[in-house]
Structure 1
Amino acid sequence: MPTGLLLVDKPAGLTSHDVVSRARRALGTRKVGHAGTLDPLATGLLTLGVGSATRLLTYLVGLDKTYETTIVLGRATTTDDAEGEVLGEPAPAAALDAITDDQLAAAIATLTGPIEQVPSAVSAIKVDGRRAYDRVRAGEHVELKARAVTIAAFDVLAVRRLPGSADEPPTIEADARIDCSSGTYIRALARDLGTALGVGGHLRALRRTRVGPFDVPDAVSLEQLADIGPAGLASSAAVAERLFPVLRATDDQARDLGHGKKLALPELDDVEPLAAIDGAGRLVALVSVRNGVGRTLVGFPIDAE
């Protein structure tokens, strides 16, 4: 069975599950999963685990991320992005003209650093066992609780003041690059920026360019995915080495971990997880070390890598 991490540059118009389905066909295995969903509107880096490497996905989900986005100020929508219906009347030209570059920067500053963010109602968060977006589509009113997230950087790359036309109201478009913690909703940032400026806002475009140490230039396109083989996967050990401290396990240690036995590791400080890699360069297990004793958190069976 093929195993490892596959980085895919997802195009717009497909769900994350669509990409997983194509990877399953290309690799000839059902055992493929993803870490961190991208909406159909979004493009960019999708991390897929194949074979036993799916056991690493739990640790990939929590990595920080970088996005490039275009935010439209002047209109709020039901979904906080361009696919939703416009809420209320568009902001008048005078209200947009009154927004200075300094005011835009000040509003962005309030959305930078540790913040409390209310996720978009049209999200995959479960409310009483059902996805929030399913409840919204069924006509229910959904209120989600605020959650703590961190916006490490919210950098404006360009601002365009669009005068509008007979068919389109005036808007302000801001291109931005955002570094954020896992669990951040960029659509909600666009909504909250528009609210802070009193004109409404939504997301027009979104591209994920980084997940932890993994970057979109290293990803394969959808066209390349059709021809991908096991050689196109990053090994579980290579991935673990980029994410965790490493224990170079002896043959005896590797065997004991494979059997679920504890290891005496008195020379190590407490750490979790620790990647145990054997002499052949194979990831044997992720280990928790407490008080000099190592215990297996996740074992990795021998797949063909």
Structure 2
Amino acid sequence: MNSGILLVDKPEGMTSHDVVARTRRLAGTRKVGHAGTLDPMATGLLVIGVNGATRLLHHLVGLDKEYLATIRLGWGTSTDDAEGEPFPAADPAVVAAVADAAIADGIAALTGEIDQVPSSVSAIKVDGRRAYDRVREGEAVELASRRVTVAAFDVLGMRREAASIDLDVRVECSSGTYIRALARDLGAALGVGGHLTALRRTRVGRFDVADASTLDALDVASALLAPAAAAALALPVIAVTDDEARDIGHGKRVALPAGAEPFAGVAAAVAGDDRLIAIVELRGTTLKVVTGFPQEVDA
């Protein structure tokens, strides 16, 4: 089995680890990983690496994301989503009095660069252990806020019931943003509580769920996106000659090829036969290997 990137549309009720385990069986290899967890309740795009392409995942984790979600205003939960224990509900009269303009103002306050406290039931490590493990054992976990960017927070639909308001929203955000926390914080700002009832990840960088396979229909061999093609969707590409590719493959520094544009961060060094040689960074006028991709041998 060659290496590459798979786009999988995760079904509801499965963990990201479940999807990786299924993919390992389908691909016939243990070398499978993913570039960003989805909660079991969530559906949508998982970017999965197979064999040598797992080395590329580190460079994909930080890409921006897009989600479609439903926020229910009226009460919060212990997990900030529908799987948690519900907190006491707000008075229906108070919920009914929440004006559309107040909702718009609350959303505007959560758009742009914000300091967000992640949900306590998250995969963030606290003293070496996942926060959700500590919460499940009865510990009170308080996580530090982190700066995130919410580039778009759009209301696509609104439904008012006797004791709740459902908002269908689209969120574009930086990596590390918790949509559950947006629901929690919007509800808190409006004084009625809030939690997430549905979440679907539709985009990771330039990878789109429209191009993903369902797990049941996944044909790994035909769905594999070559490492060079995947890298080109996420990073600048530096075309290198066969001689430069050989030197880079041996970990040597090479001069930035003539005509190549200088770049910030990292770039993909790609040979003429569309082989991903390495992820490189620019040091002065030379390319330094950050992550190498050895010559593939079929497994």
Q: State the TM-score bracket (shorter-chain normalisation).
A: over 0.9
The structural deviation recorded for 1:7 is 0.3
Q: Unaligned stretches of 5+ in structure 1?
A: 164-169
- Return the alpha-carbon distance in structure 2 between the equivalents of residues 285 and 149 of structure 1: 29
Pair 1:117-2:116 in alignment: yes
> Partner of 2:41 in structure 1?
41
Which aligned pairs between 1:121-140 and structure 2 lie closer than 5 A? 121-140=120-139
Q: Unaligned stretches of 5+ in structure 2?
A: none
Give the secondary structure class of the aligned counterpart of 2:60: helix
> Partner of 1:254 in structure 2?
245
- Per-residue displacement from partner, 1:222-273 (whole Å, max 9, x unpaired)? 1112xx1323100000011122222211111011011111102275535431
The structural deviation recorded for 1:25 is 0.5
Q: 1:206 aligns with which of 199, 206, 210?
A: 199
- Return the alpha-carbon distance in structure 2 between the equivalents of residues 203 and 16 of structure 1: 19
The structural deviation recorded for 1:2 is 2.1
- In structure 2, relative to structure 1, the CA distance for the partners of 1:232 and 1:199 (3 Å cut) is same
Q: 2:170 aligns with which of 177, 193, 200?
A: 177
> Partner of 2:78 in structure 1?
78
Superposition TM-score, scaled by structure 2 size? 0.96
Paired residue type of 1:242: L
> Partner of 2:183 in structure 1?
190
8 Å Cα contact 1:274/1:286 also seen in 2: yes
CA RMSD of aligned residues (A): 1.2
Superposition TM-score, scaled by structure 1 size? 0.95
Give the secondary structure class of the aligned counterpart of 1:61: coil
Give the secondary structure class of the aligned counterpart of 2:233: helix
- Return the alpha-carbon distance in structure 2 between the equivalents of residues 212 and 206 of structure 1: 18
> Partner of 2:142 in structure 1?
143
> Partner of 1:14 in structure 2?
14
Pair 1:218-2:217 in alignment: no
8 Å Cα contact 1:96/1:199 also seen in 2: yes
- Per-residue displacement from partner, 1:86-136 (whole Å, max 9, x unpaired)? 12x211111011111111100110000000000000000011111000000
- Return the alpha-carbon distance in structure 1 between the equivalents of residues 74 and 263 of structure 2: 51
Aligned length: 296
- Return the alpha-carbon distance in structure 1 between the equivalents of residues 193 and 143 of structure 2: 19
- Return the alpha-carbon distance in structure 2 between the equivalents of residues 294 and 97 of structure 1: 60
- Return the alpha-carbon distance in structure 1 between the equivalents of residues 263 and 64 of structure 2: 23
Give the secondary structure class of the aligned counterpart of 1:289: strand
- In structure 2, relative to structure 1, the CA distance for the partners of 1:174 and 1:254 (3 Å cut) is same
Paired residue type of 1:135: R
The structural deviation recorded for 1:304 is 5.5
Give the secondary structure class of the aligned counterpart of 2:282: strand
Give the secondary structure class of the aligned counterpart of 1:255: helix
Give the secondary structure class of the aligned counterpart of 1:59: coil
Give the secondary structure class of the aligned counterpart of 2:244: helix
Report which stretch shifted further, 214-223 or 238-247: 238-247
Give the secondary structure class of the aligned counterpart of 2:217: helix
> Partner of 2:106 in structure 1?
107
- Return the alpha-carbon distance in structure 1 between the equivalents of residues 257 and 271 of structure 2: 19
> Partner of 2:161 in structure 1?
162
> Partner of 2:90 in structure 1?
91
- In structure 2, relative to structure 1, the CA distance for the partners of 1:111 and 1:271 (3 Å cut) is closer
- Return the alpha-carbon distance in structure 1 between the equivalents of residues 243 and 237 of structure 2: 16
- Return the alpha-carbon distance in structure 1 between the equivalents of residues 295 and 106 of structure 2: 52
- Return the alpha-carbon distance in structure 1 between the equivalents of residues 35 and 287 of structure 2: 27
